[in-house]
Amino acid sequence: MIIKKLSLLFPGFALTLLIATAAQILGNRFPLIGASVFGILFGILVKNLFRLPVSTADGVNFSSKAVLQFSIILLGGTLSLAQILETGSSSLIVMIFTILSAFIIAYVLGSILKIDTQMKNLIGVGTAICGGSAIAAISSITEADDHDISYSISTIFLFNVLAVVLFPPLGHLLGLTDYGFGLFAGTAINDTSSVVAAGYTFSNTAGDYATIVKLTRTTMIIPISIIFMIYTVYQKKKNAKSAVRYDLKKIFPWFILGFLGMAVVNTTVIIGHDLSVIIKESAKFMIVMALSAIGLKTDLKRMMKTGFKPLILGLAAWLGVSFTSLLVQYLTSQI
Query: Can you give the pLDDT at residue 104?
Result: 95
Domain hosting residue 20, numbered range: 2-331
Work out the pLDDT band at 151, boundaries 50, 70, 90: confident
Cα separation, 128 vs 111, whole angstroms: 18
292-335: pLDDT as tens digits: 887 887 776 766 776 788 889 999 999 999 999 999 988 887 66
- Note whether 198 and 210 are within 8 A (CB): yes
Highest mean pLDDT among 71-75, 151-155, 165-169: 165-169
CA 105 to chain centre: 18
Q: What is the pLDDT of residues 62-114, one digit of tens each?
A: 887 788 778 778 877 776 666 656 655 667 888 889 999 999 999 999 999 98
Percent of the chain clearing pLDDT 70 (strictly above): 86
Crossing angle (nearest 10°) for helices 35-49 and 273-295: 30
Between 231 and 14, the higher pLDDT residue: 14
pLDDT at 206 over 60: yes
Residue 225 pLDDT exceeds 90: no
Quote the number of domains for the chain.
1
CA distances from 242 to 100, 232, 237, 251 (A): 34, 17, 8, 19
pLDDT, residue 244, reads 45
pLDDT tens-digit map of 107-148: 999 999 989 888 898 999 989 887 777 887 788 777 777 778
Q: What is the pLDDT of residue 242?
A: 47
Give the global pTM: 0.68
Rg value, the chain, Cα? 20
Q: pLDDT tens digit string along 248-272?
A: 555 555 676 787 788 788 777 766 7
Average of per-residue pLDDT across 284-296: 84
Which of 96-101's residues contact partners 24+ apart within 8 Å by CB, and which partners? 97/324, 97/325, 97/328, 98/128, 98/187, 98/188, 98/321, 98/324, 98/325, 98/328, 99/128, 99/129, 99/220, 101/317, 101/320, 101/321, 101/323, 101/324
What is the structure's pLDDT at 86?
Answer: 63
Kindly report, residue by residue over 228-244, the tens digit of the pLDDT.
Answer: 888 877 777 766 654 44
What's the mean pLDDT when you consider all of the chain? Answer: 81
